Amino acid sequence: MSGRRDHRLSARARLACWGAALAFAAAGSAAAAPLQVTHEVYGGSAAPIPVTAYRGGGPGLHPAIFLLYGARGLELGGAMYDAYARALAAAGDNVYVVDYYARTKVVPKTPQERRAAFNADLAGWVKAVEQVISAVSDEPGVDASRLGLLGFSQGAYLAIAVAADDPDIGAVVEFYGGIPPSLRGHLVRLPSTLILHGAADKVVPVREAHRLADALSASGSRYDIVIYPHAGHGFNARLDSKAGRDALRRTLRFFRDNL
């Protein structure tokens, strides 16, 4: 993200995000069952993994989408994650915001700490996410044949790592991420993937998006890529912007079409 005003959203901005997200999800659809938001723990007492679950309810089985936050955890972008989860739940999905930092019990504070944590802890985060996926897949109301990953920044790299390791994942939407260094040159087939990135991203350069697209093409994987001109890191935090509206619309449609 560029600028402090993008880092922390006011209560009014949160309401605007929720309103825009729910308007997109509700457009053209029947009235959804009341949304249930619960805070749960997976993994047992030895290695607990907190998860915020968003369930739209209604009869039948629902896809499960696992949302993976960026390097600042829920401190940065929490309102955006909440808005995306609500929009997806309103569209009929179950959404699980996975607090994967709980596995390593450290929330890195500085850019140097975040880089070091990514290199040291990625494998542990992958295991944490997969543990949650396994548990959720056995829950009533979940269609285990329709599992998706939604990742932002560091969480997008993590989503690619999980999808590369878990053949049950059916779709990935990744925002301003790329291929983890450990997978470069070793990426085999991935599920259908939507790549969304800003051309002016100074945190994760847009070449990371093109590198991922090239790897997906080489492996024969299906993918779509959208590069937003002049957009920086975290461009979609403002859901009332043109790029923000477009990115949310594409996210909802991609999961609808691929799960």
Give me the domains of the chain, ranges plus CATH numbers.
Answer: 4-258 (3.40.50.1820)
For the stretch 19-60, pLDDT in tens is 555 555 544 444 556 899 999 999 877 789 999 999 987 889
pLDDT given for residue 205 in this prediction: 97
pLDDT given for residue 40 in this prediction: 95
pLDDT (mean) for 71-82: 89
Supply the DSSP string of the chain, one letter for each residue.
--SGGGTS--HHHHHHHHHHHHHHHHTTSPPPPPPEEEEEEESTTTS-EEEEEEE---SS-EEEEEEE--TTGGGTTHHHHHHHHHHHHHTT-EEEEE-THHHHT----SHHHHHHHHHHHHHHHHHHHHHHHHHHHTSTTEEEEEEEEEEETHHHHHHHHHHHH-TTEEEEEEES----GGGTTT-----EEEEEEETT-SSS-THHHHHHHHHHHHHT--EEEEEETT--TTGGG-TTSHHHHHHHHHHHHHHHHH-
For the stretch 171-218, pLDDT in tens is 999 999 999 998 998 888 899 999 999 999 999 999 999 999 999 999
* pLDDT of 6 over the 90 cut: no
pLDDT (mean) for 210-239: 96
* pLDDT of 241 over the 80 cut: yes
* pLDDT of 1 over the 50 cut: no
* pLDDT of 9 over the 60 cut: no
pTM of the entire predicted model: 0.88
* pLDDT of 17 over the 70 cut: no
